[in-house]
Amino acid sequence: MLEHGGRLQQAAQRYEIPRERWLDLSTGINPIGWQATACISTASWNRLPEDEDGLLEAAEAYYGAPKILPVSGSQAAIQALPRLRGRSRVGVPALGYNEHAHRWKQAGHDVVPVAIADFEAALPGLDVLVVSNPNNPTGDRFAPDQLLDWHARLHARRGWLVIDEAFVDSTPESSVARFTDREGLIVLRSLGKFFGLAGARVGFVLSSQVLLQNLAEWLGPWALAGPSRVVAKAALQDQTWQKSTRQRLRRDGGRLADLLASHGLKPSGGCDLFQWISLPNALAVHESLARQGILTRYFGATPSIRFGLPAKAEDWQRLETALSVSRGVLEIAESARDEARREARQ
């Protein structure tokens, strides 16, 4: 199993701090998600889900895509897509959502980690390119024209361009959803991030009819639970909430970037839902915050940390205080190390 954010129980045990005292900033999930409590009927628990419940129409209107398949979180599609192709050379971001590489490898493909700056150069040697737009955790973004050009070149040799748009909802103009009737262009969307409905496990695949039929056949009937379908439909139709949430996330994303920068942690990248900082002592910062009950996501392969958004005023305040403490602790540790080095040299 790969590492993921949101493992609060594990952190509670490791740092011996009760679960309810943690501030969990380890994911890029909107902490003020769409409120799902009121609309679940008894029938949606008891009856088998039916396709003709209006979810597809709501998704088509929201995504502006011609053909859509609801899935149990975009993770379900990340696992299934590699099973729908013969052995291929698959380029994945060298630093990205690592489930992509893992699942293509698991299905027997040749996976090539590619630095984002090298996508263009790598393209001629690939059958499939997986891009996250924006990329998690680095926040790199790709212009739709660039993506459509890559798709056309891959498609010319029966290749695929898979675009993971899990974090695109706050900047919908960056999405290529409306072009997904082009064969070999596959877009993955999630209700887990912007909508904050990660527990409902709802995602969508936007692609050509043939690919969606193959994928549906692989996933089998009732891929998405009845109550999740009800919640998803209502959230996708709630344009008032979507508009105010976009504005709030833009404001809060900027606020988080400024707060981190003012504590010596200038983000290397990010988007409205998270900020990412690459720094040599990332582990020390991560652990210092964890000892104060603040969970961040640490990436060991490229020493770096990702911060999700705090929700309430007291959470922002708590983060600010903890960042000051961590900075102090790290500065003391650094000057002690310098001192020890000086003494060793004398």
Ligand X SMILES: Cc1ncc(COP(=O)(O)O)c(C=O)c1O
Binding residues for ligand X, rule: CB under 6 A, are: 73-75, 97, 132, 136, 164, 166, 190, 192, 198, 203
Query: Is the CB of 30 or the CB of 136 nearer to ligand X?
Result: 136
Q: Which is nearer to ligand X, 150 or 167 (CB)?
A: 167
d(CA 281, CA 89): 35
| Residue with smallest beta-carbon separation from ligand X | 73
Rounded to the nearest whole angstrom, what is the least distance from the CB of residue 192 to ligand X in the complex?
A: 3
- Residue 70 has, within 13 A of its CA and on its CB side, a CA count of 29
CB of 136 to ligand X, least distance (A): 4
β 89-93/110-114 pair status:
parallel
Query: ∠144-215-126 over CA atoms, to 5°?
Result: 50
Q: How far is the CB of 232 from ligand X (least distance, A)?
A: 11
Nearer to ligand X (CB atom), residue 103 or residue 288: 103
Distance of CA 195 to CAs 7, 23, 30, 190, 238, Å?
20, 19, 7, 9, 10
Nearer to ligand X, 235 or 322 (CB): 235
Cβ closest to ligand X, residue 198 vs residue 290: 198
CB of 196 to ligand X, least distance (A): 11
CA distance 284 to 247: 34
State in angstroms the smallest separation of the CB of 328 from ligand X.
Answer: 32
Least distance in angstroms from the C-beta of 203 to ligand X: 4
Cβ(72)–Cβ(203) under 8 Å? yes
Cβ neighbours of 239 (radius 10 Å) = 10
Q: Which is nearer to ligand X, 74 or 292 (CB)?
A: 74
Buried b or exposed e, range 64-97, using 16+ CB within 10 angstroms:
ebbbbbbbbbbbbbbbbbbeebeebbbbbbbbbb
CA angle at 78 for the pair 75 and 80, rounded to the nearest 5°: 110
Shortest Å distance, C-beta 132 to ligand X: 5
Q: Is the dihedral of CA 71, 63, 187, 114 positive or negative?
A: negative
Nearer Cβ to ligand X, position 73 or 310?
A: 73
**307 near 259, Cβ under 8 Å?**
no
CB of 195 to ligand X, least distance (A): 10
Cα 228 to Cα 230: distance, rounded to the nearest angstrom = 5
- Name 115's Cβ contacts closer than 8 Å, sequence gap at least 6: 93, 94, 95
Nearer to ligand X, 95 or 166 (CB): 166
